[in-house]
């Protein structure tokens, strides 16, 4: 109620990107205030429920609800977001070198559609500064994924060098890594989703992860690949087959869409990636297709248009082991995470499941 009645009206009177920075920076600064994180936990934290815990390879997630990439691009508020009840979060997308991103304005609200359009263009402080930020933050209580990409001026033929550099710099600080090849806001990036380019990139990232693992020790760290929702049919099947053959840990489905079907707000004509409710069904369909093509053997993180517990549960039943939110957090506030957790528990109980893992891919067994 505090967010929806006070904070949201204030933030929504501001330019969308200014509100974004104010929120993330404030959450980051709160981490340095004695007692502030504990207060956030008491207000918004999600109680531990063993029924919702998820294990993927060497990682255990206290619940399946994560924060998608793009909100904390520079890892300045990981402790603050951790206190809100997330089971994990992505920091980034980060590139080897800092870059300013695309021209402003580049972030737009579509309130009548419960959506956002962004064409940020991987604006970030660069891998080295993100490493500093993560070091300063200390060990957060939840797994942190580092979402990596290439600089805008790096040709696709050399893209693997950028991804390798990100891994080299940030390997000690990420619990797992996400290869972003699906943002629509870096020219040519989505071309890396296909064929030999995709195969070569995955091989390069895996090799670099193995090199860093050999140097640093500890458990091997999972690698996920994030795909676009606009790839369909046989093209999606080939992409998923290539990813699966690359022996990565999993797939995130999906990134933002370039589709504008069914929108009513005037900002729909802005170029960029669309997120929010208009993506709900399409992202769930992609999760379902990826699960089918991989025969349920590759973990999936479902992302796109999750506003209610039912939205999250639909993706889980379609094949997602975990889910991520972003746009709904902007519209509904931090109370969303607890709402999703409690709602998932109720839905599991309704369907006779004692653990979230039993619901993963249930639609395929019906």
What ranges in 219-299 are assigned the alpha helix state H?
A: 233-245, 280-294
Tell me, what's the pLDDT at 342? 97
Find out whether 58 and 175 touch, Cβ atoms under 8 Å: no
Which of 13, 291, 275, 345 is CA-nearest to residue 301? 291
Task: Sketch the domain layout of the chain as residue ranges.
Answer: 2-365
User: What does the pLDDT look like over 84-129, one tens digit per residue?
Assistant: 999 999 999 999 999 999 999 999 999 999 999 999 999 999 999 9
**What is the model's pTM?**
0.96
Which of 168, 169, 167, 165 is CA-nearest to residue 177? 167
Token pair for 6: 């006070």
183 as an active site residue: the answer is yes
User: Of the listed 31, 82, 182, 183, which one is catalytic?
Assistant: 183
Tell me, what's the pLDDT at 255? 94
Which single residue is written with the structure tokens 């676009």? Answer: 228
Residue that wins the pLDDT comparison between 182 and 93: 93
Label residue 366 by pLDDT band (50, 70, 90): confident
Determine the Cα–Cα distance for residues 52 and 251; give it in Å rounded to an integer.
20
Determine the Cα–Cα distance for residues 208 and 287; give it in Å rounded to an integer.
28
CATH number of 2-365: 3.20.20.70
Find out whether 251 and 289 touch, Cβ atoms under 8 Å: no
Find out whether 122 and 183 touch, Cβ atoms under 8 Å: yes
For the segment 294-303, the average pLDDT, to the nearest whole number, is 97
Kindly state the percentage of the chain with pLDDT values over 90. Answer: 91
């Amino acid at each position: 109620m505090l967010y929806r009645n006070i904070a949201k009206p204030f933030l929504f009177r501001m330019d969308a990107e200014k509100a974004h920075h104010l929120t993330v920076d404030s959450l980051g600064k709160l981490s340095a205030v004695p007692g502030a994180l504990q207060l956030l936990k008491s207000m918004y934290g999600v109680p531990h429920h063993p029924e919702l815990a998820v294990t993927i390879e060497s990682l255990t997630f206290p619940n399946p609800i994560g924060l998608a990439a793009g909100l904390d691009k520079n890892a300045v508020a990981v402790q603050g977001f951790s206190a809100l009840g997330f089971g994990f979060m992505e920091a980034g997308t980060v590139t080897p070198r800092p870059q300013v991103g695309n021209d402003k304005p580049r972030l737009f609200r579509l309130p009548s559609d419960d959506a956002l359009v962004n064409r940020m263009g991987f604006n970030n402080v660069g891998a080295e500064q993100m490493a500093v930020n993560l070091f300063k933050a200390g060990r957060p209580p939840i797994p942190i994924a580092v979402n990596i990409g290439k600089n805008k001026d790096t040709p696709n033929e050399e893209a693997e060098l950028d991804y390798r550099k990100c891994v080299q710099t940030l390997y000690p600080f990420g619990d797992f890594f996400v290869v972003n090849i699906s943002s629509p806001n870096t020219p040519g990036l989505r071309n890396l989703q296909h064929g030999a380019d995709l195969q070569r990139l995955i091989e390069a990232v895996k090799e670099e992860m193995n090199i860093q693992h050999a140097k640093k020790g500890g458990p091997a760290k999972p690698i996920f690949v994030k795909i676009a929702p606009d790839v369909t049919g046989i093209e999606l099947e080939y992409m998923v087959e290539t990813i699966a053959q690359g022996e990565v840990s999993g797939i995130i489905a999906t990134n933002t869409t370039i589709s504008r079907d069914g929108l009513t707000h005037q900002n729909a004509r802005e170029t960029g990636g669309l997120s929010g409710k208009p993506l709900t069904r399409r992202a769930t369909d992609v999760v379902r297709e990826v699960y089918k093509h991989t025969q349920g053997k590759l973990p999936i993180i479902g992302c796109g248009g999750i506003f209610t517990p039912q939205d999250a549960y639909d993706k889980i039943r379609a094949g997602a082991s975990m889910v991520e939110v972003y746009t709904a957090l902007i519209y509904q506030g931090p109370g969303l995470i607890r709402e999703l957790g409690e709602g998932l528990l109720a839905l599991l109980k309704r369907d006779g499941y004692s653990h979230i893992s039993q619901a993963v891919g249930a639609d395929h067994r019906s």
